[in-house]
Structure 1
Amino acid sequence: MRVFVTGATGALGRHLVPRLVAAGHEVTATTRSPGKIAAVREMGAEPVVVDGLDSKAVLVAVEAAAPDVIVHEMTALSDMRSLRNVDKVFATTNVLRTRGTDNLLAAATRARTRRFVAQGHNFVYERSGGPVKTEDDPRDPRPVPSAARSMAAIRYVDETVPRSAPEGVVLRYGTFYGPGASEPMLEMVRKRQMPVIGGGTGVWSFVEITDAAAATAAAVERGAPGVYNVGDSDPAPVAEWLPYLAEVAGAKPPLHMPAWLGRLLAGEFVVTQMTEARGISNEKARKELGWEPRYASWREGFRAWVGG
């Protein structure tokens, strides 16, 4: 198939594009930087320099590629060390998830591209009820104010892609880790700058970055339209996974901090993720996409990433 991938040089794209090429697909891959053209060619794809917010340029690029599938992985995240104001950190990404999504969907319609696979996130789920959520569970009706625009942008993708594309698929990824995906988090753990806040009762779902790329490649080829959780098979509370990551990284155990102090130092969003987050079930993706994570648990994945 002909596949048009945006965000090809991002954390996920750099693993996804070579996988699609190896599977025999004809891949056109975008980058915003002319300096990354050679890197895209080395992946085996045809590079196109395009700004996802330039609607005319997106139309021209997609029409020229005439893809069977479009994969939307556009983000603009360079520094994730502080999430005190999530909406500030994600400002450009939020526009890419709204206006950028609209531009790609319009181009898909013009090019008669039926299948459209887009990046979502598991942060959408309500922070109450059971510890593990399926795709049918409610989304969070009361996002933290400092992250409200970011959550709205994620929700926009969630709602718009399945409604607007004949075969619209949204992948609600868990937290990425692995090569090129989460070095800032690892650095913070090693410097003891990532404490367990308020008991660490928030449940996180992780997905190793090459496993995320494998799930995305599977969604290119199969699966009914709709949303899919993409995480490993071992959702776990912060109080469990964070000390383990410190251990395999050769760092001292993380500090512990009460929630009130966490709010002062890190902000409300970080505190809610540390204390109220919910994990995700990957059953639907495993069954309907035929995908199995290589790292079924972050325990094996973390050790392979930093402890091997």
Structure 2
Amino acid sequence: MHVFVAGATGAIGRQLIPRLVRAGHAVTATTRTPDKVDLLHGLGAVPVVVDGLDSDGLRKAVFTAGPDVIVHQMTALAGPSDLRRFDRWFHLTNRLRTEGADTLLAAAREAGVSRFIAQSYTGWTNARTGGPVATEAAGYDPDPATMQRESLAAIKYLDEKVPLAEPAGIVLRYGNFYGPGASDSLVELIRRRRFPIVGDGAGVWSWTHIDDAAAATVAALEHGRPGVYNITDDEPARVSEWLPYLAESVGAKPPMRVPRWLGRLMAGEVAVRWMTEGRGASNNKAKHELDWRPSWPSWREGFRSGLDDSSRG
């Protein structure tokens, strides 16, 4: 098939394009940055320079390429994380998840594209009630932190619109990324002891190695049915469990522990909720319906051996 990857120079795109090429697919890949054209050439794709929020330019790129499949991987996170101003930090990504998705869906419909796949997220978006692990049928957090309302609305918009569009699409909800190019800033914070355990650290997180995110995307492209799928590893875990393990794995000192009130003062409400009340995600649906299995089934092995290129399995 001919695959159009929108937003191809991020951590997933760099893993996804070679997988697609090895599987025999032709790839057209977009970037906003002319400097990354050579990177895309080297990965085996035909590069196109276009801004994901340039509606006319993006639609023209799709029509010119004439793909069978569109993969929406566009995000716009740059610089240090800003949990206190979460919606401001995610503002452009939120627009890409709404306006950008609308443009790509319209182009897909008009160009006769047969399959559409979009990147989404599962984690802090889940309702903070019920059991520690949520399925795709579980609801979104009905009371998100004030500074995350715009971001949750954008994710919900994408998750609900893509499967009902024409062509009916697939949404892949990735967990928290790690792996080459995806976890460097997190590891640096942990090494500097600037990522403490807040409160009891009872919040549950689900992790996704970027290799597994790319593999799941190929599986969805080749035989997935329309719908929403959680793409995570097999072992959701409490912060109090995975964070000390990650610190040890990268040779850092154990993380500090701070009470909730101090965590709120240091990092804001988003960080406190995520670390103390978060819910993980079940990957059972993806494993059964996409015929996909994570090659890194546990963050334990992944943190030890899969954080960078030199140690990947």
Whole-angstrom distance in 1 between the partners of 2:217 and 2:166: 17
Partner SS state of residue 70, structure 1: strand
The residue aligned with 1:119 is 119
Indicate the percent of aligned positions where both proteins have the same amino acid.
58
* Alignment partner, residue 94 of structure 2: 94
Segments ≥4 residues shifted beyond 4 Å: none
Equivalent position of 1:201 in the other structure: 202
- Supply the distance in 2 between the matched residues of 1:165 and 1:262 (Cα, whole angstroms): 45
Query: Which one is further off, 60-69 or 74-83?
Result: 74-83
Superposed counterparts of 1:47-62, under 5 Å: 47-62=47-62
Do the aligned partners of 2:109 and 2:167 also contact (CA within 8 Å) in 1? no
TM-score normalised per structure 1: 0.98
**Residue 58 of structure 1: how far off its partner (Å):** 1.1
Offset of 1:166 from its aligned partner? 2.5
Residue deviations 1:76-127 (CA, integer Å, cap 9, x gap): 1112433111111111111111111111111111101121100110033211
Q: Distance in 2 between matches of 1:37 and 1:109?
A: 27
In structure 2, how many angstroms separate the alpha carbons of the residues matched to 1:72 and 1:97? 9
1: CA distance, partners of 2:42 / 2:307: 26
Please name the residue that 1:167 is paired with: 168
Q: Aligned ranges for residues 1-308 of structure 1 at < 5 Å?
A: 1-123=1-123, 124-306=125-307
- Name the Cα RMSD after superposition: 1.1
Deviation at 1:56, TM superposition (A): 0.8
For 1:39 and 1:135, locate their aligned partners in 2 and report how far apart those are by CA, in whole Å. 35
Q: Are the aligned partners of 1:115 and 1:165 in contact in 2 as well (CA < 8 Å)?
A: no
Q: Deviations over 1:31-70 (max 9, x none)?
A: 0011111100101011001111111111111011111110
Residue type of the alignment partner of 2:22: A
Determine the C-alpha separation between the residues in 2 that align with 1:26 and 1:184.
33
Task: Say if 2:108 and 2:167, in contact at 8 Å, map to a contact too.
Answer: no
Note the C-alpha offset of 1:165: 3.1
Q: Extract unaligned runs of 5+ from structure 2.
A: none
Query: Is the 1:2–1:67 contact (alpha carbons within 8 Å) kept by the matching residues of 2?
Result: yes
Cα distance between partner residues in 2 of 1:161 and 1:227: 9
- Number of aligned residues: 308
What is the distance in 1 between the residues matched to 2:79 and 2:121? 18
Give the TM-score taking structure 2 as reference length.
Answer: 0.96
Between the aligned partners of 1:189 and 1:64, the Cα distance in structure 2 is: 45
Partners of 1:144 and 1:278 in 2: CA distance? 15
Hey, what's the Cα distance between the residues in 2 that align with 1:292 and 1:62?
A: 31
Asked whether the 8 Å contact 1:248–1:306 carries over to 2, the reply is no
Q: Which amino acid aligns with 1:206?
A: W
CA contact (8 A) 1:15 1:210 kept: yes
SS in 1 for 2:84: coil
SS of the residue corresponding to residue 170 of structure 1 reads strand
SS at match of 2:74: coil
Answer whether contact 2:81 2:89 (CA < 8 A) is retained.
no
Structure 1 stretches of 5 or more lacking a match?
Answer: none
Instruction: Name the SS for the 1:167 alignment partner.
Output: coil
2:258 and 2:4 mapped to 1: Cα distance? 45
Residue type matched to 2:269 in 1? E
Question: Is the 1:285–1:291 Cα contact (8 Å) retained in structure 2?
Answer: yes
- Amino acid of the structure 1 residue aligned with 2:160: E
Amino acid at match of 1:82: D
1:40 maps to amino acid: L
Q: Secondary structure at the match of 1:85?
A: helix
Residue type matched to 1:305 in 2? Answer: G
For 1:295 and 1:100, the matched residues in 2 are separated by 31
Paired residues of 2:189 and 2:195 also in contact (CA < 8 A): yes
2:208–2:232 CA contact under 8 A, matched in 1:
yes
Q: 2:58, 2:104 within 8 Å by CA — same for their partners in 1? A: yes
- One-letter amino acid matched to 1:234: E
